[in-house]
Amino acid sequence: MGIWENLKKPLQAVIVLSLVISFLLAAALPAAATTEVWFDDFSDLSRVSSYTNVTIENGSVKLVSLPPFKRQGLQLGGAWSLDSPSIVQVGAAWYMYYAELLSPYGPSVALATSADANSWTPQGVVISAGFTGDGDAQGAGYEKVLRLGGTFHMWYSGLDNRSTYSVIHATSADGRSWVSHGVVLTSAMLAVGGHVVAPFVLWNGTGYTMWVSTNNVTTTWLWRLTSIDGDSWTNARLVMTPSESGNGNVGARWPFVLMTPTRFEMWYTCGDFARPSICKAHSGDGQDWIVEGVVLAADPSLPLESSAVGAPDVMTVAPGRYRMWYAGRGDHLQILSALEQTGFASSGAVESVRVSIPYGMVWQTLRVNKTEPVGTAVRIHVIDANTSLALDGFRDLASTSVSLASIDPVVVPKIQLRAVLTATSAATPTLLNWTVVFGTPPPRAADLGYLVVVALVAAAGIGFVGFTLLALRSTPRRR
């Protein structure tokens, strides 16, 4: 037999043994580390457990917008209903005219005064039923007052003996003693039926413009007219139908209009008669209006205005910023006020659902995608889901990438993320998405070193066995 034939079987045994040892070593080596991710891009609420003062839509979390008006509370109240405030500044003083409803009598126009437009002192009735005669025989109210130079002008709603409202004009030198100009507008003059009620009049420097509603008891329409003297009204035009009023199909009434350098702004009562709200619209010419929607609605949690708000009167307090007086109804009507505001809530929060880590894996990384305009912030808290407490070292995190490696997955197998958004009122931060990465632990250096040593020893042993077998096969046999 040749040398190869002598070595063939021993070498085959060595190769098989080498393969077995190699397989055992490969099985003993740690597998390459793997990762998994938990991710929420806020495309829906499926991974959100709770949120306050934020909106979650269009793939982002933002602070809620503030309501258009911040309520300031009661301005003037009493045992009977007070409606339709009309505010006039007279030097350093403030005058508030309003409709006083003394049941079972019809309304009267009353006056209250104030030094600061907040604390009001009633001065009594200035125009009562029958002041003009037949035109207001049953009541006078729902007025708007305009002061031009040294003269006060009031256009109010007179209730006649036929229980029909029409518009009456009166003037005064001091705002207290009035001279009637008589009825200046009726529904017949507009060729419609029903009432003409709650006029508002604006002076543009050369003439007067009136916005007023007609009412057939169930529905109202808004009209615009013009006048040179405040008594003779022409150019009547219907400017808002019930379907165009923006909140139901009852129609717009109790308008209040301001003329700014760029356009007309109008606040008005809208919605049904049982539960009205205050809406806003704007126009380039005072005729064609673009409705913006409800800016103040009744609030069931507020006793003074739980069932109705309406009859707004608005004053500019700064460029583009307004204060509004209005009537609110709980048990009865009283006068309240609100201040316009813009921007966002000062703080809000969103909390994720529980994120569980699979057995044998470790926490690795938290990644946060956010935007933070000047004066805003998004801060993250990592919560132990079992205790609902923020983990030490993981509170108020500002970074967009945070290592979670120090969190023991055995002690904390579930976490939740809580984002706190803070801001000035002018801007809001945005949370776009967040990601938790976890995975298997990487091989330890000590384990790898041990296996390398074992592999070297095994290889040396195999080599030694092979060499020995080769030597034995090479030694001549004695015969």
Over its C-alpha atoms, the chain yields an Rg (Å, rounded) of 41
Owner of token pair 């508030």: 96
What residues of the chain score a pLDDT lower than 50?
Answer: 1, 3-4, 7, 19, 446, 448, 450-453, 456, 467, 469, 477-479
Same domain assignment for residues 289 and 159: yes
Owner of token pair 């597998």: 31
pLDDT of 356-369, one tens digit each? 999 999 999 999 99
- Whether residue 18 is contained in a domain is answered as yes
Same domain assignment for residues 364 and 424: yes
Same domain assignment for residues 286 and 380: no
Same domain assignment for residues 10 and 91: no
For residue 460, give its domain range: 3-30+444-474
Same domain assignment for residues 230 and 367: no
Same domain assignment for residues 168 and 87: yes
Same domain assignment for residues 126 and 235: yes
Q: Which two tokens stand for residue 374?
A: 């000047």
Q: What is the pLDDT of residue 342?
A: 83
pLDDT of 368-395, one tens digit each? 999 999 999 999 999 999 999 999 999 9
Which of 340, 367, 397 finishes a domain? 340
Same domain assignment for residues 294 and 190: yes
Same domain assignment for residues 167 and 88: yes
Same domain assignment for residues 298 and 398: no
Q: Report the CATH number that the domain containing residue 188 is assigned in CATH.
A: 2.115.10.20
Domain count across the chain: 3
Q: What is the pLDDT of residue 358?
A: 93
Q: What is the pLDDT of residue 103?
A: 61
Q: What is the pLDDT of residue 164?
A: 95
> Which residues of 204-263 form beta strands (DSSP E)?
208-215, 220-227, 234-240, 253-259
Owner of token pair 């006083």: 100
Same domain assignment for residues 452 and 360: no
Q: What is the DSSP string of 81-103?
A: EEEEEEEEEETTEEEEEEEEE-T
Same domain assignment for residues 86 and 56: no
CA–centroid distance for 155 within its chain = 38
- Whether residue 479 is contained in a domain is answered as no
Which of 340, 370, 393 finishes a domain? 340
Q: What is the pLDDT of residue 32?
A: 60
Q: Report the CATH number that the domain containing residue 406 is assigned in CATH.
A: 2.60.120.260
pLDDT of 258-301, one tens digit each? 999 999 999 999 999 999 999 999 999 999 999 999 999 999 99
- Whether residue 283 is contained in a domain is answered as yes
Q: Which two tokens stand for residue 34?
A: 């793997």
Q: What is the pLDDT of residue 4?
A: 45
Say if pTM beats, i.e. exceeds, 0.85: no
Q: What is the pLDDT of residue 479?
A: 44
Q: What is the pLDDT of residue 217?
A: 86
Q: Judge contact between 387 and 395, C-beta under 8 A.
A: no
Alpha-carbon distance 133 to 172, whole Å? 18
- Whether residue 103 is contained in a domain is answered as yes
Q: Judge contact between 314 and 280, C-beta under 8 A.
A: no
